[in-house]
Amino acid sequence: MVIDRNTHLDLDRLETILRAVRGQPILVIGDVMLDRYLWGNVSRISPEAPVPVVDVERETMRLGGAANVCNNVKCLGALPRLLTVLGDDAVGERLQAEVKAAGLPTECMIKDPSRRTTQKTRVVARGQHLVRADEEDRAETSGNVAEALLAQLPACLDGAAAIIISDYGKGVVTKSLLETLLAMARERDVPVAVDPKDTHFLSYQGVNVITPNQYEAAEVLGYKLRDDQSVTRAGTELLSRLGARSVLITRGEKGMSLFEAQGGRTDFPVTARSVYDVTGAGDTVVSAFATAQVGGATAREAALVATHAAGLVVAELGTAVPDVDALRGSFRDGGAAWDA
């Protein structure tokens, strides 16, 4: 396995990439959700059951799924577009308001009266995530809604520098949508980055990069990624089966492993000094990788940017996005090279 040991990304190169990213349109397609947080304290156990009673002190709302991907793209300086479906309900109205408040576009958010908008409610007390309650529908879009998605594609894709598919398995991404989208991307030579769901995993043919975590990769391939040998086998097999240019497997505390079609595996150790919450980390990885490549980064440079960006968001409690100044600081403090 051949690795270029001389490749390096210093702060000047990072600045060049970030400057080139500014204002570049990136289309994000996928499942949006509202992340609702109830924050409080625990001082007693319920007399009704052996569970803690949380005295809720405040409630916050944050963007999740493809909406969080959009927010990440925006925070890194690019210009996101969002094509998605949400319910015609109170949660959908709140989600749309949060999207607007974040300065993100809402014109391609299609409403479907037959489905609920996905909302994930997390109860957090004294810094501990106690429970999560999900409200959602997972049926694939069909009929008029599916037609509306396809009808919006040409305008949303016009002039886009990249496409990010954020597939959470909530129904927006379907096989027929993927077939049309990937064909249009090939015709227009637009790179596609995918944060995958196992349902459609082998339909992401010919993409620029796919960013599964080790459990998603294991589920699709049928064997666990227990050691370096199995990780190498998985990355090589996914490259071959998908015809992808690169595969970036996220491995939790072991960092990330990048596999490129021209050969070679590159490992990126964790940069986070502390990990409080991994919620949304996958959104940040695919966003940072795709956005950096729009700025001219190589796959290895993009993976390094993604590693540092993810290190920033997991150090915060709750869904978060990377700050560009903090990203610069991470490179300055944590180094800017990878393990060969």
* Whole-Å CA distances, 295 to 6, 45, 63, 166, 291: 21, 53, 25, 20, 7
Q: Quick one: average pLDDT of 65-74?
A: 96
Mean pLDDT of the chain: 91
What pLDDT score does 74 carry? Answer: 96
Q: DSSP string spanning 91-152?
A: HHHHHHHHHHHTT---TTEEEETTSPPPEEEEEEETTEEEEEEEE---PPP-HHHHHHHHHH
All structural domains of the chain, each given as residue ranges with its CATH number in brackets, are 11-334 (3.40.1190.20)
Asked if 55 and 89 count as a contact pair (C-beta separation under 8 A), the reply is no
Mean pLDDT over 280-299 rounds to 95
Catalytic residue positions?
283
**Predicted local distance difference test score (pLDDT) of residue 1:** 40
pLDDT (average), residues 302-316: 90
Q: What is the pLDDT of residues 251-276, one digit of tens each?
A: 988 899 999 998 889 999 887 665 55
DSSP line for 257-311? EEEETTS-EEEE----S--S--TTHHHHHHHHHHHHHHTT--HHHHHHHHHHHHH
Which two three-digit tokens encode residue 304? 């390094």
pLDDT in tens, 146-193: 999 999 999 999 999 999 999 999 999 999 999 999 999 999 999 999
pTM: 0.93
pLDDT for residue 340: 41
> In the chain, what is the straight-line distance between the N-terminal and C-terminal CA atoms, in Å?
10
CA separation for the pair 311, 159 (Å, rounded): 31
pLDDT over threshold 60, residue 228: yes
Q: What is the C-alpha to C-alpha distance for residues 25 and 105, in angstroms, rounded to an integer?
A: 12
Q: Is the distance from CB of 130 to CB of 53 less than 8 angstroms?
A: no
- Percentage of the chain exceeding pLDDT 70: 93
pLDDT of 95: 97
Dump pLDDT digits (tens) for 192-209.
999 998 889 999 999 999
Percent of the chain past pLDDT 90, that is, above it, reads 80
pLDDT average, residue stretch 20-28 = 97
